[in-house]
Chain A
């Protein structure tokens, strides 16, 4: 005398329909449960929104900021090609480029257009492919006649992207002053936070030619006159180097110390940011755990109270002959309904406040930055999580339903 699988399915369908109809019939109580859940979940979502928004914005700003990943040599040394190719091969180095003598690495830039000419002395800074500073804030000059200007240099020259400036390099040979000029096209103007002083980011070969010219030598490539430079490998007194990520900086610095190089890196600042990030994550986790327990307790007590209240109806369901396996779904379906509706309500509240918060703080944010932000993926995870939690919270209630004895509950007291 067994029902086959098909008939079992009808029983389950009927119990689910019963459960949902009861849920709708008691819509005031159901709404209370939904709002109760939303009240727990909405602040939690906001908290995570703020964490993922503000902390990630901070992290992007502080942790991924190329300036924090820079390792600068102190004083001058002698670095050959071998040293640079070895450094470039290291997996923890994102970018390394030689730097010529600082005393020779400058140039007068001249803008002859407009009513009156502008000129400024700029530091020449070598750049090349994958330069993190220029990748973040500008464009990398593609050839020797392109230049990326710092904000102050561009302002003093009164130029913008696309305009041309003339670069002049002077020297004194046996008491005679000489000068060469080169036309440079402005391909980028970096914001002030990228580089505060007057500077021009150019390809290394232009820097080398400038240094050679100052030394009395000529450059075939640029057509600058002078003696031929001696053959043999070139040595550089300095370099620009960026670690792959903020987490590589300390180790990289220590490696250089071991090589006997004196370098400067923002290790202390990085450690502050990292420990801040860790502390925030810990605090958010603790809050989340407390909230999850609260939600679990509230959900479990709701479902249990409802099951106790409805024990007579559930007993009648049993009396009619629905199987235990079907009846246990009665509280679970209602818990699922509460969790889905509650999460959707909480997400609606959250989205309203998210827009409000981001609007209030919009003046402190650049494009693509948020104080409060959760992705669709985050919200889907939140929904999946609450659904799972509600299933778990209704497990004991379902167990109680399975244990209901119809003979004890079907008669009025």
Chain B
């Protein structure tokens, strides 16, 4: 297994996690531990592993929609901003502070869906900008053009192909120029050719906007070529309680 990038990250960090853990008890219990993970600003990170290895759990933790059980440190340091102590915000149940940070600094691309079927493509892409009170029109058209969906702006998502919908989802995650975009298997439901094309557009857009990208994928091959840093998971089933313990290494 190739060793990951050196632990000293060149850029300023955007995420700094130390001993973060999340556990689900029960018969098919699962526990994820992040011993230490620092993600730098502008970095492209791929969470690589089989399904069920904890990729989505880690993404949700990073997206601040899943509460960690414990953490020594969990900081989200968006550009031009004070670091947000995520574990402290969870502790005081300040969900709005987390939501607010998401809206200002994050974009999220789901594997499928996640678009509002009752909003036009234009309104879907511009939603976060609207929520922030930013001007919508030009930014939406620019990002739509870059993803080659500008001719679909007035359509509803239901009128688009799956591939086109994923482009809309990427456009929505990017339109408000966030610091970090989190994508959960964004091309898994696409055919290889489409997946290749969309992933190419996505990464070049991310490079252009200087956005940190965190992608969960089981597509091992192209990750290194595109300049991603790999983050992998070590799985081990506990013989005594049957809980699958995943440890993040990267």
Contacts and interface: CB of A to CB of B under 8 A. Distances in A.
A64 B131 CA distance: 61
B84 interface: yes
B131 A324 contact: no
A407 B84 contact: no
A145 interface: no
B65 A412 contact: no
Question: DSSP class of A's interface residues: helix, strand, loop or mixed?
Answer: helix
Interface residues of B, number: 37
Interface string B106-125: 10101111101111000100
B191 interface: no
Q: How large is the interface on A (under 10, 10 to 19, 20 to 34, 35 or more residues)?
A: 35 or more
B81 interface: yes
A324 B96 contact: yes
B65 A405 contact: yes
Contacts, number: 101
B101 A411 contact: no
Interface string A321-364: 11111000000000000000000000000000000000000000
B56 to A, nearest CB: 7
B65 A322 contact: no
B133 A411 contact: no
A10 B132 CA distance: 6
Interface string B204-228: 0000000000000000000000000
Interface string B65-87: 11000000000001001101000
Contacts of A325: 96
A197 to B, nearest CB: 76
Contact of B128 (A1, A6, A13, A321): A321
A160 B100 CA distance: 85
A368 B108 CA distance: 66
Interface of A: 1-3, 6-7, 9-11, 13-15, 17-18, 21-22, 24-26, 312-313, 316, 318-325, 405-407, 410-412
Given A22-B116, A321-B99, 19 more contacts: A1-B78, A1-B81, A1-B82, A10-B133, A11-B103, A21-B116, A21-B119, A312-B113, A316-B116, A318-B99, A320-B103, A320-B127, A321-B101, A321-B103, A321-B106, A324-B95, A324-B99, A405-B66, A411-B110
